[in-house]
Amino acid sequence: MSVNKEIKRITTHILQEMKQRGEKIAMLTAYDYSMATILDDAGLDVLLVGDSASNVMAGHETTLPITLDQMIYHAQGVVRGASRAFVVVDLPFGSYQGNSKEALNSAIRIMKESGAHGVKLEGGVEVVESIQRIITAGIPVMGHLGLTPQSIYKFGTYTVRAKDEEEANKLKTDIIALQDAGCFAVVLEKIPAKLAKEVTASVSIPTIGIGAGPNCDGQVLVVNDMIGLTKGFKPRFLRQYVNLYDGILSAAQAYIKDVKAKDFPNEKEQY
Ligand code: KIV
């Protein structure tokens, strides 16, 4: 399917219509201006400035260390590079869990200082009050259920969530609560495909899956994983479209060779 270039800017309303007509939503993460311009040109519907920046950009083991200031810095570049995509920014760990006022202040900082179009936060019924307060201020909110990486020390593992009935039932209750609170979409991360299909059918807002099977209303991947920049990371749900690790490695090796051999710069490459 070709990208609709007539659309000036994707909105939450357009995402809702896409669900209604069965058109899948394509979302990828982005953390800087250059990548955002490429992904926006490609026609991505949504760019997520994910707190996975903590892993893939900063080299941390988890998403917990990244700060609100750092998220805003990443978001500013992405917003400058995206003229069509809807840009959503993760509220980082510690910027919204305290209380709904703190959550609202963090969301306002992201919107004001980066120019993003919405925020995402992790959790179900326990974050509903914060979600309502943020939405009341006019800020679109995307939810995130299933494997929520900011709770990794509670889970103890990055394995598939909601395999047992109790956790699956909580997820079913949570997604309804997020919809009722006014979320415009919900990310479902690493849950059984059957459960994702069931909860997607139970709500009128779009679900965006990562490791949640084909029946979500859209899909998201961490861009660094999907372009093969993250060496050795190949979970079952990941499709790697290009191997940039090897491409950049050979380019860097060729450059080193040319410099050492005094072959770069040549006569045409100087003033
Ligand atoms: O931070 C992130 O990249 C995310 C996606 C995995 C959905 O939240």
Mean pLDDT computed over every residue of the chain = 97
Q: Across residues 55-80, what is the average pLDDT?
A: 98
The Cα–Cα gap between 74 and 265 comes to: 33
CATH 3.40.1010.20 fits 12-240, yes or no: no
Q: Place 2 in a pLDDT band, splitting at 50, 70 and 90.
A: low
- Ligand 1 centroid to 32 CA: how many Å? 15
**Residue 118 near residue 141 (C-beta atoms within 8 A):** yes
Model confidence pLDDT, tens digit, residues 34-60: 999 999 999 999 999 999 999 999 999
Q: Greatest CA span in the chain, whole angstroms?
A: 70
Task: Look up the pTM and report it.
Answer: 0.96
Residue nearest to atom 8 of ligand 1 (CA): 50
Ligand 1: lining residues by beta carbon, under 6 Å: 29, 48, 50-52, 90, 187, 189, 210, 220, 222
Model confidence pLDDT, tens digit, residues 195-231: 999 999 999 999 999 999 999 999 999 999 999 999 8
Exposed, middle or buried by CB within 10 Å (0-12, 13-18, 19+), for 70?
middle
Residue 180 marked in a binding site: no
| Number of Cβ atoms within 10 Å of the Cβ of 58 | 13
Q: Which residues are catalytic?
A: 189
Model confidence pLDDT, tens digit, residues 226-256: 999 998 899 999 999 999 999 999 999 999 9
- Ligand 1 centroid to 136 CA: how many Å? 24
**DSSP β-ladder status, 25-29 and 207-210:** unpaired
Helix (H, G, I), strand (E, B) or coil at 47: strand
Task: Give the contacts of 199 (CB within 8 A, at least 6 positions apart).
Answer: 171, 172, 175, 188, 207
Q: Place 5 in a pLDDT band, splitting at 50, 70 and 90.
A: low
Q: Place 1 in a pLDDT band, splitting at 50, 70 and 90.
A: low
Q: Give the helix/strand (H/E) hosting 89.
A: strand 86-90
Give, for ligand 1, the residue of 89, 119, 189 to mutate: max count of ligand atoms closer than 8 Å to Cβ.
Answer: 189
Q: Is the pLDDT of residue 178 over 80?
A: yes
Domain ranges of the chain: 12-240, 244-271
Whose tokens are 């069965």? That residue is: 22
**Residue 138 near residue 167 (C-beta atoms within 8 A):** no
**Residue 223 near residue 30 (C-beta atoms within 8 A):** yes
Whose tokens are 């997604």? That residue is: 175
DSSP lists the bridge partners of residue 28 as: 47, 221
Tokens of 69: 């200031």
Of 232 and 176, more confident: 176
Q: Place 3 in a pLDDT band, splitting at 50, 70 and 90.
A: low
- Ligand 1 centroid to 268 CA: how many Å? 45
* DSSP string computed for 197-254: HHHHHH-SS-EEEESS-TTSSEEEE-HHHHTT-STT---TT------HHHHHHHHHHH
User: What is the predicted pLDDT for the residue at 185?
Assistant: 99
Q: Is the pLDDT of residue 86 over 90?
A: yes
The Cα–Cα gap between 140 and 106 comes to: 13
Model confidence pLDDT, tens digit, residues 129-151: 999 999 999 999 999 999 999 99
